[in-house]
Structure 1
Amino acid sequence: MIRLSIPLRQALARLSLPVLIAAAFGTMLLGKADALLAERARIALADALAPFYAAFAQPARAVRDGLEDLQQILVMREENARLREENERLRRWQAAALSLEAENAMLRRQLEFVPERAPAFYTARVVADGGGVYARAVLLSIPPEMQVRRGQIALDERGFAGRVTEVGSRSARVLLATDMNSRIPVTLEGSRVRAMLVGTNGARPRLQHWSEGTRPAEGERVVTSAEGVAFPAGLPVGVVRWTEGGVAEVELFARTERLDVVRLFDFGLGGILPPEAVARPEPRPRR
């Protein structure tokens, strides 16, 4: 390997800058002097680099399209969440409007009506499946200062969920409307026909014991009835759904399978559960 002396390397370094400047000016003068030659040189260079540009352009386009699709997906997810929240809010407003409409019609028929006082309520968190003798129940965690008593009604943000059956010093058990031991007197809001909502341990309890000659309509709203002073009237329960086998069931508003927080209302209807609210406990089916 040939090693250059230090003075020679310094001389070459000093000469490199003038040589590069001279080459640049020469290229410019050549382009001015022979424009056709310069154009052909640019075209030849472009032809030589075109395959590389094409090879790199396709992955770059794919990455750009992927980023745009990802951004669009994020926007759609945000829009979907917003629409879900808006739909939930509109559903609550619709339930409130329908309930107020039914109450207004009743008030027109009873001009001497005296409104009831607003009920007190507590908010409690669901901590576990209630277990015990009931197949469909939840266990609530309650602080000692919370005045919870047997018979209080439990609702989630959508509607009726169940009723308190047992109370301890720091916990309470709520029997859900879907349990086979649950009996809830209800009213069909459209026809004002009274019936009994009976749990089946499934997702939808059944409608039973409605008046002869009447038939619950598909999609008709179901609310609680004040018959027997077991429940206050007008609490939203669900809508009627007919099965293929001709059985009237109720699709509950409350999400009984995914309860996180419930509100326990005290309507001042007495602290003991009447027979029509809870049937005799049946043993839990073996799995």
Structure 2
Amino acid sequence: MAKRSAKVSIAGMVLPVRLWTQRFAFLGLVLLSLTLMLFSRAEISSVSQVRLAIVDLVTPVIFVFSKPVQAMEGLVSNVERLFFLNQENQNLRESNARLIQWVEEARKLNIENATLRAQLEYVPDKRSQFVTARIVADTGGAFFHSLLINAGARQFVRRGQAVVWQGALIGRIAEVGNRTSRVLLMIDINSHIPVMVESTSDRAILAGNNTSRPVLEFLPDNSPISRGDRIVTSGHGGVYPPGLVVGTVAQATDSTVSVKPFVDWSKLNQAVILDYGLDGILPPPERVPTSALQTEVSSDLKTKQ
């Protein structure tokens, strides 16, 4: 009986201690955390030394364990790069093979073209001279669209010359000063450019309408034009040289064919003025004064007599 009572008394003493421990364990951990935070903020030298000592001990362990992870990451990266390089190499080989084929085709066409030119005594187009200028002002408004460039007569700029940027047509020189010139944009309502559909060679007039989408006029009714077709200058009229890219067909309906220019007007800050030696359509011959005609006729009569 004495032993049983002793066991019961010991169990009765242990149970309250366990309950108190379970109740206040979480609170104790919170207090310990707050204490450590306060010590870390207090910048106590002994605490700092202990913290640095722990860091010194842990750092080599972390470094050793991180090495396999870094090696595995590097291995995975190298494998991915190897697959990427292999695919890129295959693509480059295919592109190179296609380019070699096109080079051979271009050589054959060049020889054939030279032979035909020699047989026909073909007069080639004159090579263009060009001047690059900076756009200094946008002089356009609601009813007209033009730009001012810092090149003029002193740079051999002449009225009517084509103006392009990155190979795409902008407009033409409308007015020329000594150091500046005004460019009439292709979207201006006063702009009318002879063009043609590149795929079908159907001719038309690109008419500006003061919007970002000029329209094609006088296009043949049976033209199989469709959205996305490229529009280039035809060279007719002697103002614009042939082959300058203008834009693509944005919309093609029975009543209207609008064109989206290649030029991004919002990013335009420079321009190239082309000189192909084109002076436009020849002006009519000057009229000879009546007095000069009478003098010439009388002299002819005297000679015959």
**2:262 corresponds to which residue?**
253
Does the 8 Å contact 1:230/1:269 carry over to 2?
yes
Query: Greater relative contact order: 1 or 2 (C-alpha under 8 angstroms, separation 6 or more)?
Result: 1
Count of matched residue positions in the alignment of Structure 1 and Structure 2: 172
Distance in 1 (CA, whole Å) between partners of 2:278 and 2:200 is 26
Q: Is the deviation greater in 220-229 or in 131-140?
A: 131-140
Task: With the length of structure 2 as denominator, give the TM-score of the two structures.
Answer: 0.50
1:217-271: CA deviation from partner (whole Å, max 9, x where unpaired): 2111110012122221111111111168952111111223432110000111117
1:51-109: CA deviation from partner (whole Å, max 9, x where unpaired): xxxxxxxxxxxxxxxxxxxxxxxxxxxxxxxxxxxxxxxxxxxxxx9xx99xx7xx79x
SS in 1 for 2:237: helix
Q: Which has the larger radius of gyration?
A: 2
- The residue type paired with residue 134 of structure 2 is R
* Aligned partner (choices 128, 131, 141) of residue 122 of structure 1: 131
Q: 1:145 to 1:228 in 2, by over 3 A?
A: closer
**1:232 corresponds to which residue?**
241
**2:160 corresponds to which residue?**
151
Distance in 2 (CA, whole Å) between partners of 1:218 and 1:230 is 27
Task: With the length of structure 1 as denominator, give the TM-score of the two structures.
Answer: 0.53
Shift of 1:149: 1.0
Question: What's the Cα RMSD here?
Answer: 3.2
Structure (1 or 2) with the greater helix fraction: 2
Q: Determine whether 1:186 maps to 2:186.
A: no
Distance in 2 (CA, whole Å) between partners of 1:174 and 1:273 is 22
Does the 8 Å contact 1:224/1:233 carry over to 2?
yes
Distance in 2 (CA, whole Å) between partners of 1:231 and 1:252 is 16
Percent of aligned pairs with the same amino acid:
42
- The residue type paired with residue 158 of structure 2 is R
Segments ≥4 residues shifted beyond 4 Å = 243-246, 271-274
Shift of 1:216: 1.9
Q: Unpaired segments of 5 or more residues in structure 2?
A: 1-105, 284-305
Does the 8 Å contact 1:134/1:181 carry over to 2?
no
Shift of 1:144: 6.5
- The residue type paired with residue 251 of structure 1 is K
Q: Unpaired segments of 5 or more residues in structure 1?
A: 1-96, 275-287
Distance in 1 (CA, whole Å) between partners of 2:223 and 2:253 is 19
After superposition, residues 130-279 of structure 1 pair within 5 angstroms as 130-131=139-140, 135-142=144-151, 145-242=154-251, 247-270=256-279
